[in-house]
Structure 1
């Protein structure tokens, strides 16, 4: 049977600049059959972006899924969709009060012992605007890779942030100041509790408190 280390982070961009974050939660179940059954729930949770705040159980940020045109949708996430993010404090003018990321890849893979679902997002423009500038507190070099994995009877939920740098290069001075503050806070680790709460919520098993 493969172990977690048999699957290197091939779908996670390499860390080259700025800071990174890794939030990982593990759930071990009684047997593989139970894990296979529950993993279907975990995958559904990952793609249910509109419920992320509910799964995380925090009020730190809220996430709304939109289609490629910026229209709110209530369905499973797809490649090319956007996430409209409302974080505490003032938003950006470019994002009309929100931060935006685009889903650039969703991929499912595995074998009889292992299942992996990966979703990678990247800071992007506001799809409701004609302005092509990145409407997010991090630059477009940054990425967040969300993965849920089943390996035998073990299930993992992970978030990997890479190449995180504050987006201080827009044409809006106030946005640049705001992004500097929020981006630096994220790079100092203030985003970790949110991602940790989310990955923990993704693998929360009914009646099982300890992972």
Structure 2
């Protein structure tokens, strides 16, 4: 399988800071099974509110918000925001969530049966207060690209991080320290554990109506 069908559309070059790539691939028994798994993975990818459920208990929580900051229960769209609560944080009490904005969603299919769905997000200000500072432990230059793709009987889910640097450009001392620790932890491998759980969850096979 090629790296992806159209990675240049969603994955920026890494100009500074850390980069990462986390993938999981499954080979199905036939084309019908591949198509069914791809469609399920595509649906799960865009169902941001289910990411914690499919990733496991140690996962961060992800809540989809529209451009006005209202929580929504639907597939993700360009211009939406994702509110993130990392494990062990006191975000529910302090309102110190991390936010990203969905800046691009791409879906492609070819007559030869290859298919590709991807979504790129970037650290953002909270949608209800765009005059605030970037609320994320990475700087605004960072991106995360989430991709599911199908080629023949192979299905792959991937997360690509680019230009990842701790967001210490903030006037709040507590937030600066928190971002430094969270950002360094993510760069040292904590985010890889999160994304590995997610990509495996995206490709989990359904049997007897249950996720295995």
Task: Provide the TM-score with structure 1 as the length reference.
Answer: 0.91
Residues 152 and 140 (structure 1 numbering): CA distance in 2 closer, same or farther, change over 3 Å? same
Q: Which segments of 5 or more consecutive residues in structure 2 lack a partner in the other structure?
A: 208-212
Residues 91 and 104 (structure 1 numbering): CA distance in 2 closer, same or farther, change over 3 Å? farther
**Cross-structure match for 1:7:** 5
**Cross-structure match for 1:154:** 154
Cα displacement (A) at 1:172:
1.4
Cα distance between partner residues in 2 of 1:27 and 1:6: 15
Cα displacement (A) at 1:132:
3.7
**Cross-structure match for 1:186:** 186
Is 1:72 matched with 2:71?
yes
Please give the secondary structure, in 2, of the residue aligned with 1:43.
Answer: helix
**Cross-structure match for 1:168:** 168
Give the number of equivalent residue pairs: 204
Ranges of 4+ aligned residues in structure 1 off by more than 6 Å: none
Cα displacement (A) at 1:57:
1.5
Cα distance between partner residues in 1 of 2:90 and 2:131: 16
Cα distance between partner residues in 2 of 1:134 and 1:91: 18
Task: Provide the TM-score with structure 2 as the length reference.
Answer: 0.90
Please give the secondary structure, in 2, of the residue aligned with 1:179.
Answer: helix
Q: Which segments of 5 or more consecutive residues in structure 1 lack a partner in the other structure?
A: none
**Cross-structure match for 2:39:** 40
- Mapping of residues 120-139 of structure 1, within 5 Å: 120-139=120-139
Is 1:111 matched with 2:97?
no
